[in-house]
Structure 1
Amino acid sequence: MTSPTFRAPRSALRALALGGFLSASAMASVALAAPAAPAFDVARISNDIKTLSSDAFEGRGPATPAEKKTIDYIAAQMKAAGLQPAGQKGTWFQDVPLRKSEIVGAPSLAMTIGGAATPLSQGQQIAVRAAETGQSSVAIKDLPLVFVGYGVKAPERGWDDFKGVDLKGKIMVVLVNDPDFEGGGAADGGADFGGKLMTYYGRWTYKYEEAARQGAAGVLVIHESEPASYGWATVKNSNTNTMFDIVRADPKAAHTQMEGWIQKDLAVQLFKASGLDFEAAKAAARKTDFKAMPLKATMSADYAVKSEIITSHNVAGLVRGSKYPDETVIYSAHWDHLGVGLPDAKGDRIYNGARDNASGTAALLELARTFAKSKPERSVLFLAVTAEEKGLLGSEYYADNPLRPLATTAGVINMDGPLSIEKTTNFSISGAAKLDLLTMLTEEGQKLGRHYTPDARPEAGSFYRSDHFPMAKRGVPAISFSPGRELVNGGDARGKELSDIYTRDKYHQPADEYDPNWNTSGWNSDMTLLYSVGNRLANGRDWPNWSQDSEFRAARDATSASRK
């Protein structure tokens, strides 16, 4: 049932004060009271998580036997809920062609540091990815290493780490995050990249892309836990297994032949042997006059790569709109995780991915069951995407090849770990963005006695790490929901403690497993909030937009004519 609406400028001002953004269209239709949300079956959600994250699903790796088991399970649940198949040719699935690359055997890796031969062990001092260029092997010998600061070229900010350096035939060594993450900025001879708020320039994906544009033979990112926002275990586990990429006409335009990370201790050793102090070099890299520093070290690598084009799958189910069936609201979550990889200290090799992201998939299925029982005016698409862990590839493919037109997609609500660790008084979204959809979420949260707070870890660059991002950069209003961490019992301090423990001990590790003793007291509130904002969008006439100063506004505005 659609809630009654009225014009309410006071409500709009309240939303702005809470960090939201309200356009004229949204201001014209603000809900007076929360719709009566249905009761959600927490036991059923738990069972879906338990099933999808069990050892039988082998970590839900794309293009493994576990993929078929996973997508068939999701499709079966959607069918049982009463959804219509919304994939290709009347199926539940959208084919997603990907390049799959994996290192065959143990790679031979070594550096010569200050004249001394130094063998390196994969996963220990270094984590090298399988080449995503389509080549069958990597064989480099004694290539020079060059420190290029943060590896950023941002002319609009007056920044260029590559001035005067030729990287052809060389390995580029870079710091993670932005040049002002640890201080500096315009007031100290640097530039403004947002401080702790990571820009896309801070993401390792950008640094790999820029290395290819610079013609480098390879790139090594120096790992430090705080600017990376995760520990070495995450780096090792994410980079030493099978890699996937979209199918590119020219893979070498986006990738160098060798990409990887090195431990900070190894970096310190490299700098010391070159007569440099690591911390002093970092400080120099924060200033606009920084110039690349050749290191007295070379890199050699020799390993075979198996590369092939495979087909993975997104899963799509639809509740068809009763009044505006050609308009769409999307709920999304990624079904994949890391599959089977290197063993942990206990010998466990299955990366179960219970919270990341069996929980989001389970929430998606429960919302699908709920909407299937109603008659929303707009169509609601439930989209379980593949290969998020490999670079948002399933959502990127969907955004390029949408099953429902992007111009008439009212908004996207993405769920990646959307269920609270304990009951919270707040909620958030990944990254910082201003858009009408956040205002709606804020207002619906208020009705549940919860308040919006900005992303607690802006340095993590979460906006660029969730499946809403490919849709956002094409102009579609999109958010990735976070249940917040201000706990009813213990507040933000205890919430941060539990979040940090998960990141350190479980994130992208075999220990991310289903626990029957989880505290589920906040799950019904999380589900209600997720439902309420989608229900409001599905039963209203609002076309949310981005704020006037958003980089995504122009793309959205360009589609407005098609909705008239």
Structure 2
Amino acid sequence: MPRRAVPVALLSAALSLSLAGEPAFAAAAGTDRGPAPAATADVPGGGIVADNLARHLSVLASDAFEGRAPTTEGERKTIAYIAEQFAQAGLSPGGDDGGWTQAVVLERSAIVGPVEARLHVGGQTRALANGEDIAVETLRPGARVALSDLPVVFAGYGITAPELDWDDYAGLDVAGKLVVVLINDPDFEAEAPGRFGGRALTWYGRWTYKYEEAARRGAAGVLIVHETEPASYPWATVRNGRAGPQYDIVRADAQTHHLPMRGWMQREVAVRLFADAGLDFEAEKRRAQQTGFRGSALGDARLDIAFDVQRERVTSHNVVGVLPGASRPDETVVLSGHWDSFGVGQPDASGDAIINGAVDNATAIASLIELARVFAAGPRPARTLQFIALTAEENGLLGATYYAANPLRPLETTAAVLNMEMWSPDGETRDISSWGNGRVSLERDLAAAAAIDGRTWSPDPNLEAGLFYRADHFAFAQAGVPALTIGPGMDQLDGGVEGGKAARADYFAHRYHQPGDAFDDSWDMAGPTADTRTVYRLAAALANTGDWPQWNEDSEFRARRTVSDEARRNPSR
């Protein structure tokens, strides 16, 4: 897609901010779309303006912002722009020490030089090309990974779930070995729902869980077999996500928490590996889906892998603004979205290497800025609204995880977190959706907010993708705060559900986490505008009610919230 030019005056105003996010408060100049429309709080729905959303998108997703990778010049430009826009909207700084940012200290690791990987099996040796055959990384402390003659074992889906009477590691010693595991969980391809509840992805199916479980068992490394459908994204997404630096929050137990090496393996490589070990990959996968599966060595397979790592402690930033509540300022409703993308990756067929992250997730940050404007211009809500542009979502929800561990406002008096992700520029829809099966009252609140404008709420139609575990609200949910990630619906006014499905499939196949995710003047902003309006209605309702959203009875987060409810009711205890 062609890139939209960034107005020089607007960009220079944004760049007048320091890394700490302190604004110069210079008014941004007009753009090629004209100056920002005046506040229109009297317009139904808060006066969400499509041109405002497009203007913010054109800046944040431009090549000048270099793909918005954390700790790069792209970050400096991004947090400067967001802070400036928050200030112009009328928010107050809500970050560290009265500033606009919260410092998020991260461990950064980057592979330097070549990755040398060789697989020995059945008397043959094959080199594995990083980025093509495998895609690897490490977060464990150290300047070099050098693993040789690692026995290779197959551990099915790599799951230990005592409550389901399931253990892929039963009787299998993986200490000091390379573990090959399948993506997703055993029910994804099953003919009927089993112990994992059907095709909807569970926490056990997430790659992050598989790494953590293997590390707990002392494995030297894990390679997850990539298959597009159960992963819900193509190999290009895996490759691009590991082509640049990796990040983690600072951990005292990093040496034991992280594997020495982890990554992914192309399906074709796995098929050949199994065949060389005298096994049929598809037959072994079917066996791994059955109760009582037991893992085993993959013949005489051994792996050698070595690469150098540059490690450093770096600081990224969440950008935080607040609109103090009129009557209950100590209670908080959070509006959030992540500002980061992947920076500069591998060139695509056109030679473009900048992963601009227009849909993912400049659309949500544009909405966050516009919501700040309309709320600040209108009647002050009872509860405080906190606007957080989060960092390092693409590296494992790290900005949200850091905030949840170091909240700037108490979590027990945070009523709800409304996170936004990936509005669609493919036309307005009759519905709006949320990610995963949230099992929280906020889903019902979202449906009520959508109905005000004659829209509906649609449950996530793709539960097998596990999106509930892949967005920033999850970090807040783990801390007990009722939280939801809101995304676009799929029932297009012009095209229906089939049109929505086709547009979404095309995006994930050709643009998601790839250089093609770039802003275009031809985008239809009616969809993001309608979705932002629905979020406005939901946030306004939550900020003005005295009720406290709750997790459903069957939610795994309910018990944690019960503790914070008690702390809120009895603050002296």
Q: Residue in 1 aligned with 2:512?
A: 507
Deviation at 1:420, TM superposition (A): 5.1
Q: Residue in 2 aligned with 1:215?
A: 218
Q: Secondary structure at the match of 2:417?
A: strand
Q: Residue in 2 aligned with 1:408?
A: 413
State how far apart, in whole Å, the 1-side matches of 2:56 and 2:77 are.
13
Deviation at 1:144, TM superposition (A): 1.2
Alignment check: 8 A CA contact 1:386 1:393 kept: yes
Q: Secondary structure at the match of 2:147?
A: strand
- Do residues 157 (structure 1) and 164 (structure 2) align? yes
Match of 1:389 among 383, 394, 408: 394
1:184/1:211 CA distance change after superposition, 3 Å: farther
Q: Secondary structure at the match of 1:280?
A: helix
What letter corresponds to residue 56 of structure 2 in structure 1?
Answer: D
Q: Secondary structure at the match of 1:555?
A: helix
- Do residues 133 (structure 1) and 137 (structure 2) align? no
State how far apart, in whole Å, the 2-side matches of 1:316 and 1:419 are.
25
State how far apart, in whole Å, the 2-side matches of 1:74 and 1:424 are.
28
Alignment check: 8 A CA contact 1:360 1:415 kept: yes
Q: Residue in 1 aligned with 2:441?
A: 436
Alignment check: 8 A CA contact 1:368 1:382 kept: yes
State how far apart, in whole Å, the 2-side matches of 1:228 and 1:61 are.
23
State how far apart, in whole Å, the 2-side matches of 1:167 and 1:530 are.
47
Alignment check: 8 A CA contact 1:174 1:221 kept: yes
Q: Residue in 2 aligned with 1:74?
A: 82
- Do residues 555 (structure 1) and 560 (structure 2) align? yes
State how far apart, in whole Å, the 2-side matches of 1:503 and 1:170 are.
34
Match of 1:301 among 289, 295, 305: 305
Alignment check: 8 A CA contact 1:111 1:298 kept: yes
State how far apart, in whole Å, the 1-side matches of 2:548 and 2:113 are.
52
Q: Secondary structure at the match of 1:330?
A: strand
Alignment check: 8 A CA contact 2:180 2:223 kept: yes
Alignment check: 8 A CA contact 1:221 1:262 kept: yes
With 220-229 and 442-451 compared, the bigger mean Cα shift is at: 442-451
Q: Residue in 1 aligned with 2:352?
A: 348
- Do residues 142 (structure 1) and 149 (structure 2) align? yes
- Do residues 532 (structure 1) and 533 (structure 2) align? no
- Do residues 458 (structure 1) and 463 (structure 2) align? yes
- Do residues 376 (structure 1) and 381 (structure 2) align? yes
State how far apart, in whole Å, the 1-side matches of 2:150 and 2:408 are.
46
What letter corresponds to residue 93 of structure 1 in structure 2?
Answer: T
Gaps of 5+ in 1: 1-33
Deviation at 1:109, TM superposition (A): 1.4
Q: Secondary structure at the match of 2:67?
A: helix
Percent sequence identity is 48
Size of the aligned set, in residue pairs, is: 526
What letter corresponds to residue 325 of structure 1 in structure 2?
Answer: P
Deviation digits for residues 354-397 of structure 1, max 9, x if unmatched? Answer: 00011111110000111111211110000001000000000000
Alignment check: 8 A CA contact 2:156 2:181 kept: yes
* TM-score, scaled relative to structure 2: 0.90
Deviation at 1:413, TM superposition (A): 0.5
1:419/1:534 CA distance change after superposition, 3 Å: farther
Q: Residue in 1 aligned with 2:368?
A: 364
- Do residues 121 (structure 1) and 129 (structure 2) align? yes
Alignment check: 8 A CA contact 2:334 2:387 kept: yes
Q: Residue in 2 aligned with 1:422?
A: 427
Deviation at 1:36, TM superposition (A): 3.5
Deviation digits for residues 5-60 of structure 1, max 9, x if unmatched? Answer: xxxxxxxxxxxxxxxxxxxxxxxxxxxxx994222121111111110111110000
Q: Residue in 2 aligned with 1:490?
A: 495
1:405/1:395 CA distance change after superposition, 3 Å: same
- Do residues 319 (structure 1) and 323 (structure 2) align? yes
State how far apart, in whole Å, the 2-side matches of 1:492 and 1:209 are.
38
Q: Residue in 1 aligned with 2:34?
A: none
Match of 1:276 among 270, 274, 279: 279
Q: Residue in 2 aligned with 1:285?
A: 288
Alignment check: 8 A CA contact 1:418 1:481 kept: no
Deviation at 1:62, TM superposition (A): 0.4
State how far apart, in whole Å, the 1-side matches of 2:528 and 2:283 are.
47
What letter corresponds to residue 322 of structure 1 in structure 2?
Answer: A
Deviation at 1:293, TM superposition (A): 2.2
Deviation digits for residues 178-217 of structure 1, max 9, x if unmatched? Answer: 111110667xxxx511211111100000000011001000
- Do residues 42 (structure 1) and 46 (structure 2) align? no
What letter corresponds to residue 345 of structure 1 in structure 2?
Answer: A
Deviation digits for residues 271-295 of structure 1, max 9, x if unmatched? Answer: 1111111111001001121111211
1:419/1:532 CA distance change after superposition, 3 Å: farther
Q: Secondary structure at the match of 1:558?
A: helix
Alignment check: 8 A CA contact 2:46 2:375 kept: no
With 204-213 and 451-460 compared, the bigger mean Cα shift is at: 451-460
Q: Residue in 1 aligned with 2:12?
A: none
Match of 1:183 among 187, 190, 199: 190
State how far apart, in whole Å, the 2-side matches of 1:74 and 1:235 are.
29
Deviation at 1:522, TM superposition (A): 2.5
What letter corresponds to residue 209 of structure 2 in structure 1?
Answer: Y
Match of 2:454 among 432, 449, 452: 449
Q: Secondary structure at the match of 1:342?
A: coil
Deviation at 1:421, TM superposition (A): 2.5
State how far apart, in whole Å, the 1-side matches of 2:307 and 2:550 are.
48
With 342-351 and 54-63 compared, the bigger mean Cα shift is at: 342-351
State how far apart, in whole Å, the 1-side matches of 2:221 and 2:478 are.
28
* TM-score, scaled relative to structure 1: 0.92
Q: Secondary structure at the match of 1:390?
A: coil
With 531-540 and 450-459 compared, the bigger mean Cα shift is at: 450-459
State how far apart, in whole Å, the 2-side matches of 1:459 and 1:514 are.
28
- Do residues 101 (structure 1) and 116 (structure 2) align? no
Alignment check: 8 A CA contact 2:228 2:234 kept: yes
Q: CA RMSD in A?
A: 1.3
With 545-554 and 503-512 compared, the bigger mean Cα shift is at: 545-554
Deviation digits for residues 473-531 of structure 1, max 9, x if unmatched? Answer: 11111100012111111211111111000000000000100011011222332111000
Q: Secondary structure at the match of 2:120?
A: strand
Match of 1:328 among 329, 332, 354: 332
State how far apart, in whole Å, the 2-side matches of 1:430 and 1:253 are.
32
What letter corresponds to residue 53 of structure 2 in structure 1?
Answer: I
1:253/1:184 CA distance change after superposition, 3 Å: farther
With 439-448 and 509-518 compared, the bigger mean Cα shift is at: 439-448
Alignment check: 8 A CA contact 1:94 1:314 kept: yes
Alignment check: 8 A CA contact 1:151 1:210 kept: yes
Q: Residue in 1 aligned with 2:256?
A: 253
State how far apart, in whole Å, the 1-side matches of 2:568 and 2:425 are.
36
Alignment check: 8 A CA contact 2:423 2:527 kept: no
Q: Residue in 2 aligned with 1:471?
A: 476
State how far apart, in whole Å, the 2-side matches of 1:70 and 1:300 are.
40
